Amino acid sequence: MENPFVYGEIVPSAAFANRVDELHRLVADLDASQKIFLISPRRYGKSSLIRRALSVMARRGALTVDVTVASFSSYVAFLEGYSRALLAAETKWDRARTWLGEVIRSARPEVRYEPDTSSTTAGSLSVSFPSVRSERDIARLAQEVFALPGRLAEVRRRKVVVALDEFQAIAGFNGGSVEHALRAAVQQQRDVGYVFAGSEPSLMEQMLTPKRPFYKAGPVMRLERIPADEFAAFLDGRFAKSGIKPEDGLGAAIVELAGNLPYDVQRLAHETWDEVRRGGRRRATLDDLHQALRRLLTEQQIIFESLWQRLTLPQRAVLRAVVLDGKELLSADVRSRHRLGGPSTVQTALAALTRDDVISREGPSYVVVDSLLREWVARKTF
Ligand SMILES: Nc1ncnc2c1ncn2[C@@H]1O[C@H](COP(=O)(O)OP(=O)(O)OP(=O)(O)O)[C@@H](O)[C@H]1O
Ligand SMILES: [Mg+2]
């Protein structure tokens, strides 16, 4: 029996909880070839949602392309990877070569295809632009590459859907000019739907402000948490289906302990399931959950210790206050209870911890992003 809970990778459809409305909306917008912005903090499930939407679109006959912008080390490497992904959407090899050559005129693309003889997969493809050197070369090439999806849709007479994940990283490639070029290209492509997904909400939101190219480029979806009760019921159901009966309230306790962050929820559920399985039992209890939590904390001990050691003393005190209180950290009462010092010291520490993604702001309070770190701070620091 396989563990029904998945974390650290894109969730397969059976392990995918809820998100029915979001999926529906994303698919409808892509179907209408809109240019959608999808924004949430890290690990809320953007990539998994996109993957689901793309597979629905593929079933409806669209050609789909999925590229993670943040994984490239330079602008040219991104343009090469993006071209390769688009080319791979074309099954007829010669045809692909032809239209690539038609669109990319400023540079001579080198395309290699290595058939995979050992298995049934399609083999591997690479595209490179060795002649591209200067900034001007790159800018010209970018315009052409950004036109490729439109050409693909035209040649194949199919709808094309492009997902650019971790899109906030685009700003690192030569900033404003990439945004301009891409925006100019996509708005002309009537048969191409785009989803630009980003996990740094502040950077993504800035991209949508009036002075930036993507202002009003299309609908914006802000992915929220999965409602806690639905997530809890989903977990209980997955336990039961795998032949392990969950104690009443187990799903809810997992969601709560994991701060209802999808990644953390799945991690805790996964480890709890393992705990039960290892004991050869058929019932999952709250004890199993706490045992799994203790094991996870032990595994992460070294990482948390080194993180703690890197913090300044005021940051440590503020982090503890976030764990224990979370609200009104600037009030005289909370400051004196946790010996935090003056308001400006607290503010500086909060800003540093937020910037390093240790804590985040949720409405009037702050929360620790990693629920395991929160538990570790509560148990192991003083
Ligand atoms: N709808 C869902 N149902 C169940 N679990 C989910 C769901 N969405 C996400 N998860 C859990 O969260 C983890 C992270 O999901 P995913 O990688 O899709 O998020 P992300 O927002 O793209 O994260 P990142 O910002 O790190 O790229 C998954 O591995 C899975 O464990
Ligand atoms: Mg992702």
CA of 346 from ligand 2 middle (Å) equals 32
Ligand 1 test: best mutation among 13, 16, 24, 43, most atoms within 8 Å of CB?
43
Whether the CB-CB separation of 315 and 352 falls below 8 Å is answered with yes
The C-alpha atoms of residue 238 and residue 206 are separated, in whole angstroms, by 39
Pick the more confident residue, 348 or 108.
Answer: 348
Instruction: Name the residue at shortest CA distance from atom 31 of ligand 1.
Output: 7
- Examine the pLDDT at 196 and tell me if it is beyond 70: yes
Report the atom number in ligand 1 closest to the C-alpha of 49: 18
- Asked whether the predicted pLDDT for residue 217 surpasses 80, the reply is yes
Report all structural domains of the chain as residue ranges with CATH numbers, in order of start. 19-222 (3.40.50.300), 228-380 (1.10.10)
Report whether pLDDT(119) > 70.
Answer: no
Q: Which residues line ligand 1 (CB under 6 A)?
A: 6-11, 15-19, 40, 42-48, 199, 262-263, 266
Q: What is the pLDDT of residues 121-143, one digit of tens each?
A: 667 788 888 888 888 889 899 99
Distance between Cα 310 and ligand 1 center (Å): 28
Which of 69, 224, 238, 266 is the best mutation target for the ligand 1 pocket, counting ligand atoms within 8 Å of the beta carbon and taking the most?
266
Say which ligand is closest to the CA of 66: 2
The pLDDT tens digits of the residues spanning 323-379 come to: 998 888 999 999 999 999 999 999 999 999 999 989 998 888 999 999 999 999 999
Predicted pLDDT at 103: 85
- Judged against a pLDDT cut of 90, whether residue 155 lies above it is answered with no
Measured in Å, residue 140 CA sits from the centre of ligand 1 at 36
Which residue's CA lies nearest to atom 28 of ligand 1? 7
Report how far ligand 2's centroid is from the alpha carbon of 42 (Å): 7
Could you tell me what percent of the chain has a pLDDT over 90? 68
Model pLDDT, residue 304: 97
Task: Please tell me the distance from the alpha carbon of residue 306 to that of residue 279, in angstroms, as a whole number.
Answer: 33
In this predicted structure, the answer to whether residue 194 has a pLDDT above a threshold of 90 is: yes
Using one digit for the tens of pLDDT, what is the confidence trace for 296-320?
A: 999 999 999 999 999 999 999 999 9
Q: State which ligand 1 atom lies nearest to the alpha carbon of 48.
A: 18
Give pLDDT, residue 377: 97
Q: At what angle do helices 93-103 and 75-88 cross, to 10 degrees?
A: 140
Pairing of strands 110-114, 124-128: antiparallel
Residue 15 in this model has a pLDDT that exceeds 90:
no
Q: Which ligand is nearest to the CA of 44?
A: 1
Residue 290 tokens read as: 């706490």
- Report CA 271 to chain centroid distance, whole Å: 22
Residue 202: pLDDT band with limits 50, 70, 90: confident
